[in-house]
Each structure stands twice: as structure tokens, then as C-alpha cells.
Structure 1
Amino acid sequence: MGYSIHQTIRSRVAERPTPEVGPLSGYAGPSLVVRCFGGFQLTIPGRQLDWTRVRPKARALLRFLAAHSGRPVHREIILSALWPELPVRSGIRSLHVGVSTLRAFLEPGVRRGESTFVRRDGESYWLALPHAALCDVRSFEEGVAAWRRTVGTGQRSAEAAALREALAQYAGDLLPEDGPAEWVVAERDRYRTSAAESAARLAALELEAGHLATAVAAARRGLEIDGFRDDAWRVLAEAHQRAGDAAAAARTRSAYGRVLRTLGVSGPAWAA
């Protein structure tokens, strides 16, 4: 049972609205933090979490649910991602054990069926994040969505602000601790591509507005994420040129030429 064969299930689940949730037991402010970019972090206010008490598979389940930023995930997708080697019945038992472990760890003393954090609806599970919680994946997606809504409207400042918000959340690859696990690779690549596109677009907006230093910074950020983006290289060279730093512009064009040669392709005219 491969993860990629469940696109129909994934689409059906994604169409369902994210359930409204109440606050986590004892939660009274915005300091609950869930981060997946650049390394996993979950912080609950007033609690010192000892992750050594949780088995690796249960921790992987938590990271998997966190990466879906509060959206329900169908049981089949979870089993395919985390227990692909097990028969379905054994996988379901392992999933139930993992869920119970997380509930007991995150909400000590919670009674069966009363968890406010790891929730179940039919055959789907999700990490029920309070609305005041800080979740980098959720905030990144919201920032990108806000940017896309402004494209073509002429609202350049709103477009740039949405991109800045999205990029502020992207601290690096999605869940690097999960390595080349099949379930995370495609999502990691998707977020990396989206972040690089966001940085390149922000650089172009800053250049258009005449903000040369911030255009340079955004272009460099995009190239740190994806060193093969022509648009980021172009903006970086042009921003240096407009700032009167012809030497930096020439170095940028030369560096991009070297990148292209490693790919065995010729560069655009501006990089000559």
C-alpha cells in the first residue's frame, strides 16, 4: 500500500473543513508552539515535555499530524506512511497505541474520548490546534494563500506583506529529522518550492519598489532555498547594478553562469 495511491482519499479529506476546536486543557494564551520547518518543536505552556518517554513511532505520528497543520488525515494515509510493512489490522492496532500514547503524554489524566489535542472523527485523525496556537506550517500556508489572493489586484504592498509573513515562518526543510521517509519527501519538496517562489517574488516586488537592499536580501534568501531559480538570480544581479555595485552584479552573473554550466545548459542573455 503506497502513500502515493491515496490521492483520492487525500483530496476528499482536504475538502472537509478543519474542525472547530476548543482550547487545549489548561491552555490560556498564544505560547503553544508547533514548528515543523527546520526541525520539530512542540511547546505547551507550563509544561516541560520529556520526549524520551515517548517511543520513536509515536513521536513520528505526532510529527506527521503536525505537518498537516490541523487538517484531518485519513487512517489509510497514516498507515501507509508510518506502518506500511504491517497488515492493515496490525497497523490499526499500532495506530491506536500511538494515539493513546500521545494523548496520555500531552494531556496527562485525560479520560478516553476526551482528548482536546489528538482527535478522531470516524477514520480520520488530526492534531487539534487552538486558534491562538502558533503553527509555522499553518501560518506559512495562510501567508502564501493571502499572497495568491492579491496577485493581479495591483495591491503590491499587500502582496509583499503576505510574502514576508510566509517567509518568516519558513525556517528550513520540513521535518528534517524524518530524513528520506517517503511520506515527507514530496511535502518537503512542495514547501521548499513554494518558499523559494515566495522569496523570488518578494525580491521582484522590492526591486520594483526601489527597495534595493531588501530586494537583494529576498533574492539571496530565495537562492539559499533553491539555488537554481533564474528569477532570483536575475533580481539579485539587477538590484546590485541599480545600487551602483557593478562588481557585485558581475559576480552574481558569473556565479549563475557556473551554476548553469553544472547543469550543462546555456544561460539567458542577462547572465552573459
Structure 2
Amino acid sequence: MSSNGVYLELLGAFELSYAGCRIPLPSGAQRLLALLAVHTAGVYRGAAAELLWPDCVPRRASANLRTALCHGRRAGPVTAVECVDQRLRLAPVVDVDLPLVRVTAQRAVTEGTPAAEREALVGRLRDELLPRWPDEWLVLERERWDQLRLHALEGLAERLRREGEYLDAFQTALTATQIDPIRETAQRILVEIHLAEGNRACAVKRYQEYRRLLRRELAVEPSPLMTRLVQDAISA
């Protein structure tokens, strides 16, 4: 939560709050604040209107932007949107969950965190970026977020595995597989956890389930690295 009391959430669902109280906003104002939150350097007014209302003629898009700006400019007594030389940007007093989660995830992977904070982090990494919003400009931003959270979950799971925290490591890696079942990194970590615990049968079962998924969806095999990992365990 911001020390100024202004907080913008984009993960899971949009919500703007001031001093802990939710601020209701029309759809256009929500979309404007979300756009500025992910484009931290700011967006020119014309570009913002075009991105947010791509199906409207320029005059109508500009009018929609003015309306959205009127509704979204303030959060309680605080100015939430600044305009400098035709460039709109989110005011520095507004904290956004997306970069805060990013920093927390990086610290958890590199330095480690207490169990309670780690559990909360994994919960946030499970959240999608503005789910069900149809805006085209969000496609690339969602891909960025998905790659960031997958790397964070996998890095955290690997760190926990090395430290012998097998249950937390397993649950963290499992969260990554729920986001992208095809991606091998988290699946391989799950196999390694089973092997570290001495559960060779579970490791083989996990590998076989993943191999069937790849064959069914993509007609490919797991990587030689993962296959060798299981083969070495069986022959040991």
C-alpha cells in the first residue's frame, strides 16, 4: 500500500483505492489508468486515444479520452494523472501492484523471503493481468507478465528445492505448470523434487504424464535433458 494511500491493482482485477477505500470509476477511466500504469514513461494524448478506442474516428476517440481523463484524473484528494507537453502519465504518488510484485519476486528468487511473504507472493504471481479485458494493447503486456511470473515461480521453486524445502518448492513449481502446462522448466523441477525425496515412481509418473501431454498437443517429445534425468534415476 502506498504511503500516500493511493493504490492501483491490475492483477486479478482492476481496483483503484485511496486510504483503503475503493474508488469506483467508469470503464474508460479504468482503461486509461491501466494504460498509463504499464507505460510508465507516459503516453501522448493522441496515441492514448488511438490505443484505447481503435474503432473510433479520431474526433470521437479524443472526446472519449477527455471524458476518461476527467473521471480518472483524481484519486480522492490526490492528482492521479499528470499531463506534461501532451504526454499523459500516472502520477508518482500512485503505487501500482505490478511493479511492486515484480520487485518482491526478484528479491525472493535472489535473497529468499519468509514463508508468509513467499506464500502471498505466489498467490499474486498466480493472478492474471486484467483478465477478460478485450483491449488489443494488453496482448503484449500479458505476454510480458506471463513470462515474468513464470521465470519468478521457476526460480523460486528451484531455490526452495536446493534448500530442501520440498513441499513449498513443489507447490510453487505446480503453480507455474498451471499457468503454462507445456513449458518444460517447471515440469522438470517437479521431477527433480520427487527424485530428491526418493520418490522415483512419482518422478517417472510425472515425466510420463508430461510426455503424453506433449505428444497429444504438439507431437513432440520432452527434451533430452529431462529424458536423461529420468533414465538415470531408473538405472541408478
- TM tier, shorter chain? 0.7 to 0.9
TM-score (normalizing by structure 2): 0.79
Secondary structure of residue in 2 paired with 1:176: coil
Map residues 14-33 of structure 1 onto 2, 5 A cutoff.
29=3, 31-33=5-7
Secondary structure at 1:182 match in 2:
coil
**Cα distance change on mapping 1:166 and 1:187 into 2, 3 Å:** farther
Which residue pairs with 2:33 in the alignment? 62
Paired position in structure 2 for 1:233: 187
Residue 119 of structure 1 is aligned with which of 82, 86, 100? 82
Opposite residue 243 of structure 1, the aligned amino acid is E
Q: What secondary structure sits across from 2:73 in the alignment?
A: helix
Identity %: 25
Contact 2:46–2:62 at 8 Å: present in 1 too? Answer: no
For 2:234, the equivalent position in structure 1 comes to none
Q: Which amino acid aligns with 1:136?
A: D
Match of 2:172 among 218, 221, 226: 218
The aligned residue for residue 210 of structure 2 is: 256
State the distance in 2 between where 1:94 and 1:142 align.
Answer: 34
Tell me if the contact between 1:143 and 1:166 (Cα under 8 Å) persists in the aligned partners: yes
Per the TM alignment, residue 230 of structure 1 is displaced from its structure 2 partner at its CA by 1.1
Partner of 2:49, secondary structure, is: helix
Runs of 4+ in 1 over 6 A off after TM superposition: none
* 2:102 paired with 1:141: yes
Structure 2 partner of 1:99: 69
Q: Distance in 1 between matches of 2:103 and 2:127?
A: 17
Deviation at 1:197, TM superposition (A): 1.4
1:73 Cα deviation after fit: 2.0
- TM-score w.r.t. structure 1 length? 0.70
1:183 aligns with 2:137: yes
Residue matched to 2:18 = 44
**For residues 146 and 30 of structure 2, what CA distance do their matches in structure 1 show?**
23
Q: Deviations over 1:29-57 (max 9, x none)?
A: 46533211111122212645344xx3x32
SS across alignment from 1:120: strand
Are 1:39 and 1:177, in contact at CA under 8 Å, matched by a contact in 2?
no
1:178 deviates by: 0.8
**How far has the Cα of 1:185 moved from its partner?**
1.1
Distance 1:170 1:39 in 2: 13
CA separation in 2, counterparts of 1:228 and 1:271?
Answer: 18
Q: Distance in 1 between matches of 2:145 and 2:2?
A: 31
Residue number in structure 1 paired with 2:53: 83
SS in 2 for 1:227: coil
Report the CA distance between 1:233 and its aligned residue. 0.7
- Secondary structure (helix, strand or coil) at the match of 2:79 reads coil
CA deviations over 1:221-253 (Å, ceiling 9, x no partner): 211221122111111011012112233322211
Partner of 2:156: 202
Instruction: Confirm or deny: 8 A CA contact 1:79 1:92 kept in the other structure.
Output: yes
Measure, in 2, the Cα distance between the counterparts of 1:204 and 1:176: 28
Which has the larger share of strand? 2
Cα deviation for residue 118 of structure 1 reads 1.4
